[in-house]
């Protein structure tokens, strides 16, 4: 059965001498893996459409229950080539691609996650503010998949507080936090900033200029929250932390 959709390339894995397993995020099928025949040959009909981050119209063929249908057509809508050319930006984007693969199941349609990634890529390509937009994406994405940390009030009684407990995924007030491990302290302004990033659309987020300290506070909290949920750091996060500033800029 031939099916059509559009998708953003999340990952490619070599298969044999010239083939690829391509993983897309699509609006109609969620995470979709397809088999691409001979795209690594010089005169492949797929051209550059299978590069990471590329958005394309795709067609694929396979039985309804086929775990790996065959890619038959891929026409580029947006190449996002500039986002791949700068190493530091591509490294940060690779982190959110890994986040998508860690939280979204295969073959489960998620139009909102697809739109969020596409809008984020467009915004970064037009006017880069990488760290802010990456943090905004992570917060919105975690909310979409039901894993966003709760910072507005205590997760048990609803009272206000500024102590975040990783094991609870929530702010806890002093009364409810008894006998719970040490918290991560968070400032009132960071709580407000988190709420704004959660609710503002990506274009509005791109117009604000938070202080480095405020952005770092929220970014670090989100990173700790993700590490706790996954019981490990993201591979791209670990790789980035091991790079020296000189290497990242080269």
Spatial distance between the Cα atoms of 125 and 249, rounded to a whole number of angstroms:
18
pLDDT > 70: percent of the chain:
93
Confidence at residue 92, expressed as pLDDT on a 0 to 100 scale: 86
Residue 240 is predicted with a pLDDT of 58
Which residue shows structure tokens 């190449």? Answer: 79
Residue 245: the pLDDT is 44
Domain assignment present for residue 71? The answer is yes
Structure tokens that stand for 40 in this block: 């690594």
Q: Which residues of 148-182 are buried (b: 16+ CB within 10 A; e: fewer)?
A: bbebebbbeeeeebbbbbbebbbbbbeebbeeeee
Q: Do 161 and 218 sit in the same domain of this protein?
A: yes
Which residue numbers in the chain have pLDDT < 50?
244-250
Report yes or no on 250 lying in a domain. no
Angle between helical axes of 188-199 and 212-230 (0-180°, round to 10): 70
pTM recorded for the entire structure: 0.90
Q: In this structure, are 207 and 106 located in the same domain? A: yes
Task: Say yes or no: 105 and 41 in one domain.
Answer: no
Residue 235 placed within a domain: yes
What is the DSSP track for 92-121?
HHHHHHHHHHHHPPBT---HHHHHHHHHHH
Question: Domain of 109: which CATH number?
Answer: 1.20.1440.120
User: Is the same domain home to 95 and 59?
Assistant: no
Q: Which of 79, 113, 134 is the last residue of a domain?
A: 79
- Of 59, 79, 99, the position where a domain reaches its end is 79
CA angle 95, 101, 102 (to 5 degrees): 85
pLDDT at 101: 97
Q: Domain tally for the chain?
A: 2
Tokens representing 148 are 């966003």
The closest of 77, 144, 133 to 110, measured between CA atoms, is 144
Q: What is the CATH number of the domain that holds 29?
A: 2.40.50.140
Domain residues for the domain of 213 are 87-245
């Amino acid at each position: 059965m031939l099916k059509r959709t559009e998708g953003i390339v999340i990952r490619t894995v070599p298969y044999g001498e010239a083939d690829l397993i391509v993983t897309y995020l699509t609006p109609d099928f969620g995470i979709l893996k397809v088999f691409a025949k001979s795209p690594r040959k010089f005169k492949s009909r797929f051209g550059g459409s299978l590069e990471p981050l590329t958005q394309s119209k795709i067609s694929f063929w396979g039985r309804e229950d086929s775990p790996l249908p065959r890619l038959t057509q891929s026409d580029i809508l947006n190449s996002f080539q500039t986002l791949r050319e700068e190493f530091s930006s591509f490294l940060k984007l690779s982190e959110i691609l890994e986040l998508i693969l860690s939280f979204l199941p295969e073959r489960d349609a998620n139009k909102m996650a697809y739109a969020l990634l596409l809008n984020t890529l467009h915004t970064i390509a037009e006017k880069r503010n990488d760290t802010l937009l990456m943090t905004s994406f992570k917060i919105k994405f975690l909310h979409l998949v039901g894993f966003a940390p709760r910072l507005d009030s205590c997760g048990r009684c609803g009272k206000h507080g500024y102590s975040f407990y990783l094991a609870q995924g929530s702010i806890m007030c002093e009364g409810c936090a008894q006998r719970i491990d040490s918290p991560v302290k968070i400032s009132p302004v960071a709580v407000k900033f988190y709420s704004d990033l959660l609710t503002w659309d990506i274009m509005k987020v791109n117009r604000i200029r938070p202080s480095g300290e405020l952005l770092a506070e929220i970014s670090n909290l989100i990173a700790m929250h993700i590490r706790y949920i996954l019981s490990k750091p993201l591979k791209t996060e670990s790789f980035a932390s091991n790079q020296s500033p000189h290497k990242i800029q080269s």
